Amino acid sequence: MPRIDDEDLFEGSTMTFGEHLEELRICLIRAAMGLAVGVLIGFFLGRPVVHLIERPLKKALGTYYTERAVETFDSWQPRVAGSDPLPYSRSEVVDAVEQRGLSFELREVHPQQLARVLAAAEPRSGEPTDDANDSPAAFDTDSLVPIFLWQPLEKDSRVSITTLSAQEAFGIYMKAALLVGIVLSSPWIFYQLWTFVAAGLYPHEKRLVWTFLPISIGLFLAGVCLAFFFVFDFVLDYLLDFNRWLGLDPDPRISEWLSFVLILPIGFGIGFQLPLVMLFLERIGVFDAAAYASQWRTAIVAIFIVSAILTPADPYSMLFLALPLCLLYFGGLAICRWTSSTSPA
């Protein structure tokens, strides 16, 4: 149950309700100005940030088509039993695609047509380059032979990330600048929010703001880093494996991927504020530690629902957000108990 306190919550403050609203307006304006400065810095860092954002997607696509190439080799069957095998062994193909960074497409050609094309490209003197009498009456599919079309993986068009309009690149640049601005200005934004919170706390509780402000910033940045450097790889591998299971080849657009990059890290950073939100609600008397402890099952269900809302529609990103939040919930419970035991009566 919420703790009962007969004292006025704002007894230690001389600010009226209207003055609190004015303080909120000032803090929001200052936070917006800090965000604007961060976005301006982001304009100078936009290009390398776009390349940095592309890297996880290109890596995942490279892994996808590397595995797809080996599967293509393993599943190939000759058209005629007893015909010549593929010109490479499986170990050679695996070494080429996994160790040397090559990709290939397996195609079939007619040897007679290939010889005719090569002869036409380099005709010998006194020899005809094209003889209509050599053409078969019907196309002989049993004579087709496999060939490998090799190229470096980074040059493979299937791995490149596309835009579908001329103005899309500008939108990508703006989103990248916004992402940089949010991350760079997050300490200032949290400072302004906690400054407003401090105005409504008891004098002996205001010191907690300066204690937990660095924790708030650290939790936000930890959530962003967890999403970008750890979760992206698992989520992309899962989504691309799902494409392979359906037999669909992905053709990702950078704008769609960038929207994904914006949502997931920011969702993680906001979600990681859970312990401090719990502490704030406990300090203002909405909940207490006993209520958090008795309602932990409901809280876990709510965490999974919120995680599903803050993340894209895949189970991996939801689990990677929900599981740390469950741990943070119990961490917030421990903080509330500790602050309650150390606060003066």
- 8 part of a folded domain: no
Q: Are residues 169 and 150 in the same domain?
A: no
Tokens 């600048």 found at: 177
pLDDT, tens digit, 9 for 90 and up, residues 76-113: 777 776 666 778 888 888 888 888 888 887 787 777 77
Domain co-membership, 105 together with 250 = no
Do both 166 and 149 map to the same domain?
Answer: no
pLDDT in tens, 142-198: 777 788 888 888 777 777 777 777 777 888 888 888 888 888 888 888 888 877 777
Phi, then psi, of 151 in degrees rounded to 5: -160, 155
Domain count, the chain: 2
Q: Let me know if residue 225 belongs to a domain.
A: yes
* Res 123: pLDDT: 60
Whether residue 175 sits in one domain with residue 126? no
List the structure tokens of 299.
């809280």
| Whether 182 and 255 share a structural domain | yes
Measured between alpha carbons, how far is 10 from 87 in angstroms, rounded to an integer?
A: 82
193 and 316 belong to one structural domain? yes
**Of 136, 155, 174, which residue sits at a domain end?**
155
Neighbours of 94 (CB within 10 A): 15
Is 5 inside a domain boundary? no
Q: Tokens standing for 224?
A: 């962003």
Residue 289 falls within a domain, yes or no?
Answer: yes
Percent share of the chain, pLDDT over 70: 81
Residues 323, 206 within the same domain: yes
In the chain, helix, strand, coil percent, each to 5?
70, 5, 25
Residues with Cβ < 8 Å from 230, sequence gap 6 or more?
320
Domain extent for 241: 17-51+162-342
| Residues 174 and 204 grouped into a single domain | yes
Which of 99-108, 204-213, 238-247 shows the lowest mean pLDDT across its residues? 204-213
**In the structure, what pLDDT confidence band is assigned to residue 10 with cuts at 50, 70 and 90?**
very low
Q: Of 155, 172, 204, which residue constitutes the final position of a domain?
A: 155
- What mean pLDDT, rounded, does the chain reach? 77
Q: Extract the tokens encoding 70.
A: 């080996």
pTM for this entry: 0.67
Q: Is residue 150 part of a domain?
A: yes
